[in-house]
Amino acid sequence: MKSKTIYACQHCGFTAPRWTGKCPSCGEWNTMIQEVQHTGTMRASHRLLPHNQATQRSSPVALSDIEHNDIERIHTGIAELDRVLGGGIMRGAITLVGGDPGIGKSTLMLQMCAHLSSHAPLYITGEESLQQIKSRAHRLNIDSSGLRALAETNVETIIDVIRTSSIGVAIIDSIQTLFRSTIDSVPGSVVQIRECAALLMNAAKTLNTPIFLIGHVTKDGTIAGPKVLEHIVDTVLQFEGEQIYSYRIIRATKNRYGSTNEIGVFDMSERGLREVSNPSEVFLSQRHADEPGTAVVAAMEGSRPLLVEVQALVTPTSYNVPQRSATGLDYRRLQMILAVLEKRLGVALGKHDVFVNIAGGLRLDDPAIDLGVAAAIVSSFRDIPIHADTVLIGEIGLTGEVRAVSSIEQRVNEAHKLGFTTILLPEANMKRFATPPLRTLRPANRILPALLSALRESTPTA
């Protein structure tokens, strides 16, 4: 087997025959690392599996001949995780779970294993000892009687154990610690991650065994390793959350077997991750309704409606250029809303700093929160609170109109469920309700009447 020396970028995976200080592909500096590449490595990959298993699916199969049992999903026992996966774990699927250090990736996978005890789960660790895994399971009060663990980083050995031990589900923590003995490169390098992921993908499809890979992330939040890693796997789950908050959100950025719009919400406690079945109630639990600058909006995350508090602070600036800060929403969207308020409503914000925050650490990209953001800004600017029982729904156009939004029935039902009695929504959405409860729904087609209806009729306080 021949070998040659190459230089691979540890950021994007670009390879070059000689070293350069700056990667020609991604433009990063000092990321070109010397590696030894062996020819014929991929041709030897199939030898990790028995010949009959490596070739049993080489002939075409009619889809009508595939039994329904072959495509049934495995339920994880965690409803929030099942929602994000698209209804459960697809057999033979390989899933990548990424997130910041300490966010709860390993905890979630260990708790999932406890619920999958009947499917012979195997937790493979390359970062902890078996005693440490046992200690964490004891701290989380997990019944470990049906859970097996393996401390191993050699990918060939891992695949052999999965094949010979009748494993139903495998979790590998983490992909950056694995190595292949035939490659002269350190674990975590671009070549090692790419080769190990390809071998595990082949094993998952051939053995029809679902495999979860835990992945580290870089300082900018992307999963460490080559981009091809995300192309190889079937599903990419991103675990998000702020360290100062106990809430965690898991979402799918790629899912071949389900939607990428669903989210799962968890609460991190001393006993591990707890499912949050009603996140709207949790996100509004610390709301102060009598304070100016706060508004409740109804956003959609996949098929789930969320009621969230929007907070705004408008104060005179001490700088030549006023500050604009957006936390939890698109900064450019905030700039557009401010421009509409100044142009269409005459709200003079040119000498004021504006800060907008989505409470609870969420990030929302739903344009239906525009009306709530505008109302919170005007409420803070005029120092007039918004009615405590009001929910605002609507997208704002550049001419000041309130545009229709999708999934209006789900948003309204969620607001009713939490006891809100007044819902401001686009007039174009009213046709979705055959017998609208006029005492509850207040339609508006322009931003000015909508804001006048939301703000309390009182004199601004000093």
Is residue 171 within 8 A of residue 124, CB to CB? The reply is: yes
Residue 244: pLDDT band (50, 70, 90) is low
CA triple 52-54-57, angle to 5 deg? 90
Residue 437 has a pLDDT of 57
For 290-348, the pLDDT digits (tens) are 899 999 999 998 888 999 999 999 999 988 999 999 999 999 999 999 999 999 999 99
Is residue 293 within 8 A of residue 122, CB to CB? The reply is: no
Q: H or E segment at 382?
A: helix 370-382
For 83-140, the pLDDT digits (tens) are 999 999 999 999 999 988 888 999 999 999 999 988 999 999 999 999 999 999 999 8
Residue 93 has a pLDDT of 94
Radius of gyration, alpha carbons of the chain? 26
Is residue 307 within 8 A of residue 372, CB to CB? The reply is: no
Residue 45 has a pLDDT of 45
pTM over 0.95: no
The residue behind tokens 């970062």 is 127
In terms of Cβ atoms closer than 10 Å to its own Cβ (0-12, 13-18, 19+), residue 137 is: buried
CA triple 452-458-462, angle to 5 deg? 115
What is the DSSP secondary structure assignment for residue 437, as one 8-state letter?
-
- pLDDT top residue among 60 and 235: 235
For 146-191, the pLDDT digits (tens) are 889 999 999 999 999 999 998 999 999 989 999 998 887 788 888 8
Q: DSSP string spanning 51-99?
A: HHHHHTT-S---GGGS-GGGGPPBP-S-HHHHHHHTSSBPTT-EEEEEE
Structure tokens at 325: 């800060």
For 384-401, the pLDDT digits (tens) are 999 999 999 999 999 999
Residue 46 has a pLDDT of 45
